[in-house]
Amino acid sequence: MSWPTESELTAIKEAVSKMTGRDTEEVRVVVAPYRICPLGAHIDHQGGAVSAMTINKGILLGFVPSGDTQVQLRSAQFDGEVCFRVDEIQHPVGLANKNGAPKDQSIWGTYARGALYALQTSNKNVKQGIVGCISGSDGLDSSGLSSSAAVGVAYLLALENANELTVSTTENIEYDRLIENGYLGLRNGILDQSAILLSSYGCLTYMDCKTMDHKLIQGPELEKPFRILLAFSGLRQALTTNPGYNLRVAECQEAAKVLLTASGNSELEPTLCNGLEAWATGNLEEFGKLISASGLSSIENYECGAEPLIQLYKILLKAPGVYGARFSGAGFRGCCLAFVDAETAEEAASYVKDEYEKAQPEFAKKLNGGKPVLICEAGDSARVL
């Protein structure tokens, strides 16, 4: 399944054309896919080894260089317009707020300013702004799919492209970390942006978050193709407004230090790892078992996951053709993911929808007409078209 589709590209280009009066052929488009993490999710902040891939849904940012210092942005999902200049010095708005701005700036343009902050902090010469329109994939709640990282990457790539900056993928991983850690005050790792920037279609991306070494593990041709189910909970809360996530990171780090000291290895840094042999050999049954075990570990060992998400995880495990399931994201909101036999994907999606509506009718209603279960395929890396 192709993404973005021709209709999606046409729509985002026409939106920018209406803003600027420029021909649609002049409009550049950043494609920044959402990501999933089958194994090793959210041990990136401990320097762990993680695996991830993108899906064929995500963020589109149509833009043209502004020709001056002005940034002017609109959103297909949110009202209003965001305007600022690239010669304005950006300051953190999160935990280390120094400029008097509210701690929680929920306006959708915050990540654009964060991208400029990251480039300014890294001494990149940004002299020209952009005029653009940003849009997320229709019909889904992107909570738990690293939509924030995808938005940050999209703004970085657009500003770099407009200013003809040569920036490596490794640098952009760090710049997106600066948006989240430095600008917003969120203590997450580098899993999300790494998956979005490094992934390749048909591969599972493996990354050591301590050394930043990575490799793409190509899966063999499968006799039975798979699909990715995204099942949405209706539970939403931004991580930057929930102190529980940062607290959990600190608790995990402290626990690891205690265990290392007790083992006599206090000088070592705590890291975690996961094996990927099942994927490389095309053993989806075994790969699915590992995904489900990772999901159970998130619940029982990491002690995360709100009750609606835990119920959704258990429902997915019973759905026809599902190889394995787990939370997507930190487990405090958003969705669960599952790998499923392509032939039974529709049946599984219907089963999950019906069972979740019985288990959590109030949260199911909060999906506001969005698709409660989405059938996706693997995607590719972020890029400028």
Listing DSSP states for 99-150 in one string gives S---S---STTHHHHHHHHHHHHTT------EEEEEEEPTT---TTTTHHHH
Cis peptide before 4 (omega within 30 of 0): yes
Residues 251-265: b if buried by 16+ CB within 10 A, e if exposed: ebbeebeeeeeeeee
- All residues at 6 or more sequence positions from 191 whose CB lies less than 8 Å from its CB, including other chains: 37, 40, 41, 42, 44, 50, 52, 207, 209
CA 111 to each of CA 15, 175, 178, 280, 329: distance values in angstroms, whole numbers, following the listed order: 20, 12, 11, 36, 19
H or E, element range at 8: helix 6-20
Q: Say how far residue 63 (Cα) sits from the centre of its chain.
A: 21
Six token digits for residue 310: 């835990």
Unique residue bearing structure tokens 């490094």: 198
Active site residue 192: yes
- In the sheet that holds 335-341, the strands lie side by side as 322-328, 335-341, 226-232, 373-376
Six token digits for residue 67: 């020709």
Amino acid at 332: F
Contact 339, 226 (CB under 8 A): yes
Six token digits for residue 278: 């099942």
* Active-site residue (options: 44, 141, 176, 192): 192
Residues noted as catalytic? 192
